[in-house]
Amino acid sequence: MGNTLTFVRLQLLMFFLLMGSVPFVFSFDGPLYESTAYTECKGQPEKPLYGGGIIVDQPSTVVDKDMGGVYSPAFILQNLTGHGTIYSFSGWVKIGVAGSALIKASLKAEDETYNCIGTVLAKQGCWSFLKGGFVLNSPSNLSILFFQNTDDRDVSIAIASTSLQPFSVQQWNTYQQYMINIKRKRAVTVHVSNEQGKGLQGAAITVKQVSKDFPFGSAISKTILGNLPYQKWFLERFNAVVFENELKWYATEPKQGNVNYTIADRMLQFVRANQIIARGHNIFWEDPKYTPAWVRNLTGNELKSAVNSRIQSLMSKYKEEFIHWDVSNEMLHFDFYEQQLGPNATLDFFETAHKSDPLATLFMNEFNVVETCSDVNSTVDTYISRLRELQQGGVSMDGIGLEGHFTIPNPPLMRAIIDKLATLGLPIWLTEVDISNTLDKEKQAIYLEQVLREGFSHPSVNGIILWTALHPNGCYEMCLTDNNLQNLPAGDVVDNLLKEWQTGKIEVQTDEHGSHSFFGFLGEYRVSVKYGNRTANSTFSLCQGEETRHVSIQL
């Protein structure tokens, strides 16, 4: 492990050197983050990450005399550093009762209590992997890390191969930048030669990135129609979109038989005209509150007929128009259709959607998967269990949709959950990112940046959509601008990150070999070359790859 980490650190230093900037805060002290995760239940636990980190003792029974609590199993942790120190936690869990149980890890520090720092759906007879973490704002001389069953059953819990590894903010950010450099960028060498193949030293090269490979977008609503300033503002920033409400059943068929796609069609025209991609949100919404009132009054064959009509109408009209479909939205929290139509209703939805539009990626979209681990309905293992259940039923389940409606994000928990979901090998999107308006606008901006950096730097995240559709009376939870399109703090964060995650204009001269090398973000590029009175223009694509991309231009 030590040799591997040394090699990785050298790679990281090389990247910064090639980019021409080694930040003064750059440090190799301490281990780099380990993204290892497991979803299968194993006969024996794997070795602890980081060699256990700062956990050196075996778990024991701890009596809290002040609170009158008994924690078992638990770890007593001494002298935890605060000031934003990030702790990554992991361990293997086995229970002593038949079936399965959702086990929660919690932390009681001197000034703070963390109700949930990670969960695992543990099973009898084998070991299940729990991964999570927390951020400690104040130092704690004495803390208790303990495990509990989330229901009322008396469950014996066994813990093995536990690990708690602290990271400074600097170390955490260094790893983010490392992952961005190796997953979101690629080395390019531009060669300039004459017709005889001789490299031309001193040729003037101008390189400009004209589009980005990574989808980064926002929700829009009908308020963007006809609003040219808003459209211009949007298109200067985003290359992906989702309709906030305009495709939902209550919007397209408010009364039975009165199907109207006029607004959605006009929004799709905006998408097509500007060559951006759009997610389809959603075919069904399991929350009865957002199911059309007339649908809630149907039963039996009438409901089944209405459901079939909805999916056939929507999918036939918009076949091949949307890259994704959220098929049965928020099914971990609500189950209106399965209650009414039986346990196979969701299977039928996915099967029909796949047959209707086989090229669209079908997503299981849910909230409180990465936002927290306190919601027992949507823990990471609950999500995985439901997804596998649908796959075993024959569903073409292609995508993991994590809504991302955060209040105060927990970055190590968020990263750990995505690590675990990444083991499934499916594309992961953050589909509805915002920060609660219970926080002031400055705090919203701070936490939004944390979420976006975690998402963009994780190699298994394929796209990010913000939930920031602008209305005259504001946004769902968080706006990027005021109604005059002047940036709010969250808007400044987005603009700064978009600039940071794009290759700036490059204007250089070729070296003695007639070449110039650089690291560029994935996407499409234009390159112009001038040598004496000769000029040439070309384009090239920069897609993910381990090898340097070579671009040859002849004058």
Q: Which residues carry out catalysis?
A: 330, 432
Considering only CA atoms, which of 322, 319, 343 is closest in space to residue 331?
343
Q: Report whether 62 contacts 47 (CB < 8 A).
A: no
Q: Which residue has the tokens 């959702």?
A: 102
Query: What are the CA-CA distances from residue 208 to residues 21, 504, 528, 538, 542 (Å)?
Result: 20, 7, 9, 11, 12
Query: What are the CA-CA distances from residue 314 to residues 94, 301, 317 (Å)?
Result: 46, 20, 5
Q: Report whether 102 contacts 379 (CB < 8 A).
A: yes
Asked whether the CA dihedral 53, 58, 63, 69 is positive or negative, the reply is positive
For residues 216 and 218, what is the distance between their CA atoms, to the nearest angstrom?
7
Q: What type of residue is 438?
A: T
Strands 185-193 and 515-521: antiparallel
Considering only CA atoms, which of 197, 72, 99, 116 is closest in space to residue 371?
116
Q: For residues 267-296, b (16+ Cβ closer than 10 Å) or e, as one string?
A: bbebbeeeebebbbbbbbbbeeebbbeebe
